[in-house]
Structure 1
Amino acid sequence: MIDPFTLSMIIIVALSLMGQSVGIAMVTGSLVYLVAKGFDPSLAPETLLQGLFNGYTLLAIPLFILAADIMNVGSLADRLLRFSQALVGRFRGGLGHVNVVSSLIFSGMSGSAVADAVGMGKIIIGMMTRDGKYSPAYAAAITAATATVGPIIPPSIPMVLYALVSDQSVGYLFAAGLLPGLLMALAMALMNYWIARRRNYPVDEAVPMRDMPKITVKAFPALMLPVILLGGIYGGVMTPTEAAAIAAFYALGISVLFYRSVNLKQFYTALLGSARSTASVGVLVAGAITFNYVITRENLPNTIADTLAQYEFSRTGFLIVINLLILALGMVLEGGAILLIIIPILIPTVQAMGIDLVHFGVIAVVNAMVGLITPPYGLLLFIVSNITEQPISGVIREIWPFIIALLAALAIITFSPDFVLFLPRMLGYQN
């Protein structure tokens, strides 16, 4: 007779391969496990409700999603792109650099790689491909790559998910992501410059310095959003969840009152889009909470910890193995699923190895984001391929240099904990 846990895993994998939501697949597999073990199936909804009631920080997710959707339907993205173009458009491969900088700025508002790729991506890809300056495949590839910075620079929806499963401070995780996010952006900018030199991509016409104050003033209200959010969180004025509410309210306020770029129909569109995205994340969280009960019943974290202990890994060796594992999983799993299903299993071993959980959180999230652009199932690859109407094979050919650049940044992040924890320690983090 087949083992209940094995049966549960077979059902989850089978439903996922059939195109079913990973969250629904996990709930179904968990229910089958409970029935096969002779437990009361009502344990599943009870476990789910307890997890949701204790997950106050989860409220930040729909609010950050709403803020991003409001910015996408308004004119904030256009103004931020114009500001970025004025800053770096004059260099070789200028629009590629604009892509990097605009993603860096937008990431301080949305916390979502998908929101970055869909919102800013549509506009910047159009700018890059106009008049044949850049190939559509290259524009799509660099847009997908730069969108991975979104969940590393605070605020960050994946960091909120990691905080849920690791019981770490969202504020310290946000702070830990800032320098790694800047490092990733620098790595991609350098790669873009190298490619632009080799392919002789054009230098855009420089924006006159006399126009900079006017451009900056127009973008200033949008640029102030990350300042308000991070200042409020680290100044002790607001929690990350309250900051998410402020982000949504502020984005709506400046879009309606200052820029006058959002009407009722567009606001309804933003609400509808954020509701759909929130429902998708909610189903995934529900599945993960339910399936984590199964994992706990099977004592899987301790089993894995005992197995790894047999190999007597050093801390460096363990981190290499974990990076390879999460990168491999990122090729076939969505980032949220990795953070909610796989990471809780690894956390006891991470603690036993003496690895700081905030540092590990950044490693895990960066890995999961690189997975979004890793073939064959990187979600961002499909998004930008759809935007540009390019075959995904062409986007994959162009994405490899940026994957290499991000892996180089990941290596520094992994083996330089002091670099990652510098800002959290300045804010009082004790590890």
Structure 2
Amino acid sequence: NPGVDISTVRVKVFDSVQSTAYQIFDYADNILDVNSESNAFFFEEVEDERYEMFFGDGVLGKKLDSGNKIEVTYLVTNGDETNGAKSFTFNGIITDKFSNTGYAYNTTINPAATVAANGGAGIESISKIKFNAPKYFSTQDRAVTSADYAAIVRNIYPAISDVIIYGGEDAVPPEYGKVKISIKPTQASYLSSTTKKDIVDQLKKYMVASVTPEVIDPSILYIEVTSSVFYNSSVTTQRPEEIRDRILANINTYLGQSNVEKFNGKFRFSKFVSTIDGSDRSINSNDTTIMLRKDFFPQINSSSFYEVCYQNAFYKDCDGPTLMSSGFKVSEFPSYTVYFEDRDGVIALYRLDSLTSEKITLNDNIGSVDYEKGEVMLYDLTIIQGSYGDNRIEIRVKPELNDINASRELYLDVDVPKSKFTVYPE
């Protein structure tokens, strides 16, 4: 069948059609530990997204006898269609080992504690196979270099947008004896703790040195764009909305083909604004600015210290704040939605007057800003509710430079849906 998940294949080999005794055979993805007595089977992909199963020849894997019966069970998947599913209904029959039915069961599950399905992916494209296959082959089933780790991780968990590997000695602060693995999934921002543990467990059989692999979340740095675009209405019959759609399509094409949205990504402002100008021949110019955004998830109802790093210097504005947060609630002022901003390197907590929208300072020192390093520190803050349903809080800053760079676990993401493009005729 097309769409077979080969990790779910289970094989039983019976002595004959009438026999009830069987042996379990396991899938062997390499021949290093396979001998003449190994209960192993192998796969080879053939045409039309199908697999061919074959067994050993008595040298590599146990050879089957004439008359053996083979029972194969497996799951057929729909790729990424199930990603995000977290509500299920039992649709089956519970039996005991004697096939007796009629048992009561309790399927009450706390939805808040349920992790949504993730990691589903469609069949690999030819270009992706060409990219991954030689890298995985070069690992020779051992993880030594960062390239080895990256290739093996992609084989273990294919639904990856990008992955970066670096030694613990390069972390801040250094953690010697560790290998840091940061993964950006295709359909999500972060991996679940269950998926991280599974990746680490599967990696251990490839490791040849006394190092500890650690899968960490990517630190996603969002770039939000505000652009006013001016076009010559005398050379086109298109409306501003149509020009805007062409701009968005051209930007998405550029981002898909460039090295921006990835680890070690580089956002080049001049190339980005040129992409806007090149979206349609009627466009004369654009006036574009960017903001950097980090989303952080506080420890609810816990007094904590927070450090949010952008790895890019902030612009120090003498006339107004460089840093602004979305609204949230703290234990000291539970009745108000509060915000924070920087004031000469110090972070102040404030609320907005319900009538005048004037800023009313509640605490003039809840943290500090390092403009050169691009770091935000929040001290002893007890947050009881975030800005959104998942309790995240958004922090936006003005960068000192319009060219943005990422290193280590920092992942660049141009947030087109939250960007603003306004088109004006001239």
Q: Which TM bucket (shorter chain)?
A: under 0.3
Q: Which has the larger radius of gyration?
A: 2
Higher RCO (C-alpha under 8 Å, 6+ residues apart): 1
TM-score, reference length from structure 2: 0.26
TM-score, reference length from structure 1: 0.26
Q: Which of the two has greater strand per residue?
A: 2
